[in-house]
Each structure stands twice: as C-alpha cells, then as structure tokens.
Amino acid sequence: MDPSCTLPIKAIPNAPHSEVIGWLGEALKIKIHAPALDGRANDALCEFLAAELGLPRRAVALAHGDKSRRKLVRISGLTLADVRSRLRL
C-alpha cells in the first residue's frame, strides 16, 4: 500500500506570488497567487504543493475546507515525515 498523509494548511489567497511561508504549529502556511474565487485558489494550492513536493498533480487533493483558509490536504505517495523533509523549513 502506498504511503499517504493529511496535511493541515493555512492558505493565504491573492498573494503577489505563490510561496511556502513555514510551519504555523502543525499547519503549513502557504501564500497562493490565485484569487479565492470559483475554487481557483484551491486548484492553485494543490498544483503548487504537488510541484513543491515533486509529485504529480493527482497526488494532492483537498480533503476539507474548500471555502476556508484552514484546509486539510490529502497527499498520496508520501508520509508526513517525507513531506516535512522535502519542504526543509
């Protein structure tokens, strides 16, 4: 069975550019360039996170919080320890 994990995210939409800010307790704070309109920020968040982790886009999906800044993202193919080591923050 492939490893997977859920990652709490604090998302900040409408940022000048997308970037990982750092850990905010257990949650990862990420600024996203896309606006919070029609799910565009959620799609951009998953795409950005997949790229940062070196995963295909389909490996990162929003599990909870589609209309909130506090989100829960499911990551397939990595454990939480793998995610932390790949982000090196």
pLDDT value at residue 2: 82
Domain of residue 55, residue span: 4-87
Residue with tokens 């909870």: 64
- pTM, whole model, 2 decimals? 0.94
Our CA angle for 71, 74, 79, nearest 5°, is 120
The number of domains in the chain is 1
What's the CATH code of the domain at 43?
3.30.1200.10
**pLDDT tens track, the chain, 89 positions:** 689 999 999 999 999 999 999 999 999 999 999 999 999 999 999 999 999 999 999 999 999 999 999 999 999 999 999 999 999 87
Q: Judging by beta carbons within 10 Å of its beta carbon (0-12, 13-18, 19+), is residue 75 exposed, middle or buried?
A: buried
The H-assigned helical ranges of the chain are 40-53, 80-87
